[in-house]
């Protein structure tokens, strides 16, 4: 049986098709489901191996990106009376994986699933407005950092991906939380400049995130959140400079750099099942 990913949609999420295509292209299966289908228990989260919260503009970002959806995940009671967040805890307890991309990252932060340092899932950090004061829609380069225990990022070094966000600045106000993130290597992906050095300088860092962070994981490595969009770079032809790159290197493959993120997750779960 193939590894199965559940890709959530609804309420303004709009990158579900690309995210599902990423998992399928990586050798897995993917089902797109409206969150209400899960809440009403027409679909069981536990029939899947990976849970994905794609990018988009859930609830129009009216109260801050991802906040309303995060509250829904935290407090909503399912048809059985169980909290959805409790089902997520069970899902993680079974060794399964969660990824949140852009708006999905904002949701994971605002539910407290990331960085996951508080036992009661209290929100400890936030993602807020870019220092530039505007929506950033362009390509950035990131480098793998942190403890290196993230199934999604295994074997990666640097990766170029597009960003599409107005609220991507990660803010860590509590010095103790900042210290824990650094000490445990939870800052798994950082924005880098043209030399490969982590940077807070615009435009290489599109939002001014603390610790230059583009992505974050929890202590188990099972949860990954990132602002750049790996599902938007599945083939070489997604890149705006693909023609020049092909001329410079005619033997360059057709695969986009973002596909490796999803293949890593599929292979990780395949390996767990033996």
* Chain segment 257-269, per-residue pLDDT in tens: 999 999 999 999 9
Say how far apart CA 11 and CA 55 lie, in whole Å: 11
Say how far apart CA 77 and CA 96 lie, in whole Å: 22
Has 231 been annotated as catalytic?
A: yes
- Kindly name the residue from 150, 229, 239, 257 that is annotated as catalytic: 229
* Chain segment 49-100, per-residue pLDDT in tens: 999 999 999 988 777 889 999 999 999 888 888 889 999 999 999 999 999 9
End-to-end alpha-carbon separation of the chain, Å? 11
Query: What's the pLDDT band for 150 if we cut at 50, 70, 90?
Result: confident
Has 142 been annotated as catalytic?
A: no
**Ranges 62-71, 134-143, 161-170: which has the least confidence:** 62-71
Return the closest-CA partner of residue 209 out of 145, 136, 150, 129. Answer: 129
- Kindly name the residue from 102, 150, 188, 239 that is annotated as catalytic: 102
- Mean pLDDT over 126-144 rounds to 97
Q: Where are the domains of the chain?
A: 4-273
Residue carrying structure tokens 């362009």: 138
* Chain segment 205-250, per-residue pLDDT in tens: 999 999 999 999 999 999 999 999 999 999 999 999 999 988 999 8
What is the model's pLDDT at position 118? 86
Instruction: Name the token pair of 197.
Output: 């050095």
Q: What is the mean pLDDT of the chain?
A: 94
Topology (CATH) of 4-273: Rossmann fold (3.40.50)
What is the model's pLDDT at position 190? 98
Beta-bridge mates of residue 223: 98
What is the model's pLDDT at position 1? 82
Query: What's the pLDDT band for 274 if we cut at 50, 70, 90?
Result: low
* Chain segment 21-33, per-residue pLDDT in tens: 999 999 999 999 9
* Chain segment 8-20, per-residue pLDDT in tens: 999 999 999 999 9
Query: What's the pLDDT band for 146 if we cut at 50, 70, 90?
Result: confident
Residue carrying structure tokens 């610790």: 211
The per-residue b/e assignment along 15-52, b for 16 or more CB within 10 angstroms, e otherwise, is bbebbbbbbbbbebbbebbbbebbbeeebebeebbbbb
- Kindly name the residue from 16, 136, 231, 257 that is annotated as catalytic: 231
Extended strands (E) in the chain: 4-9, 29-34, 50-53, 97-101, 126-128, 136-144, 158-165, 169-171, 189-191, 213-217, 223-226
What is the model's pLDDT at position 120? 85
What is the model's pLDDT at position 78? 86
Has 102 been annotated as catalytic?
A: yes
Query: What's the pLDDT band for 194 if we cut at 50, 70, 90?
Result: very high
Instruction: Name the token pair of 216.
Output: 């974050």
What is the model's pLDDT at position 162? 98
């Amino acid at each position: 049986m193939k590894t199965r990913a559940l890709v959530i949609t609804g309420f303004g999420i709009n990158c579900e098709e690309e995210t599902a295509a990423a998992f399928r292209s990586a050798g897995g299966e993917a089902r797109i489901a409206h969150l209400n289908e899960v809440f009403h228990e027409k679909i069981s989260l536990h029939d899947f191996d990976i849970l994905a919260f794609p990018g988009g503009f859930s609830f129009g970002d009216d109260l801050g990106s991802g906040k309303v959806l995060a509250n829904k995940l935290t407090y909503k009671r399912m048809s059985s009376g169980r909290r959805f967040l409790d089902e997520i805890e069970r899902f993680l307890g079974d060794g399964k994986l969660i990824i949140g991309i852009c708006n999905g990252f904002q949701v994971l932060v605002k539910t407290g699933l990331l960085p996951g340092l508080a036992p009661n899932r209290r929100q400890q950090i936030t993602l807020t407005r870019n220092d530039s004061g505007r929506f950033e829609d362009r390509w950035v380069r990131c480098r793998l950092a942190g403890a290196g225990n993230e199934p999604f990022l295994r074997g990666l070094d640097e990766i170029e991906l597009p960003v599409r966000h107005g609220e991507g600045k990660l803010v860590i106000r509590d010095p103790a939380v900042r210290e824990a993130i650094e000490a445990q290597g939870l800052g798994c992906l950082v924005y880098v400049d043209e030399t490969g050095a982590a940077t807070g300088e615009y435009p290489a860092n599109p939002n001014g995130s603390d610790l230059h962070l583009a992505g974050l994981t929890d202590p188990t490595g099972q949860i990954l959140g990132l602002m750049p969009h790996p599902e938007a770079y599945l083939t070489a032809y997604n890149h705006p400079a693909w023609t020049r790159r092909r001329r410079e290197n005619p033997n360059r493959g057709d695969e986009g750099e973002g596909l490796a993120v999803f293949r890593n997750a599929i292979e990780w779960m395949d390996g767990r099942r033996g």
